[in-house]
Amino acid sequence: MRNAALLMASILLGSMAFAGGKRATAQGPSEQFATAEAMRVIPKGATITNTTCKSIDVGASSRYQCTIT
């Protein structure tokens, strides 16, 4: 129940980006959008070594969560 509420909140709030340590994670309506949102919170000059994305099915559509390290 709690996970469903968090998922619905993230959908309603649009994209979300979190940075912690040497990685950033963001969600968005496309892989390109989620990757760009994650890149926005990475410190300038940081070296990006890996980008991974996963699809999250929400109703009849999909959202993407991408992590940059």
Q: Report pLDDT digits (tens) over 25-61.
A: 999 999 999 999 999 988 888 889 999 999 999 888 9
Domain ranges of the chain: 2-68
Q: What are phi and psi of 45, to 5 degrees?
A: 85, -5
pTM score: 0.69
35: how many CB neighbours lie within 10 A of its CB?
21
Sheet strand arrangement including 51-58:
16-20, 23-28, 61-68, 51-58
Q: Report pLDDT digits (tens) over 3-29.
A: 555 555 555 445 566 666 688 999 999
Cβ–Cβ under 8 Å, residues 50 and 10? no
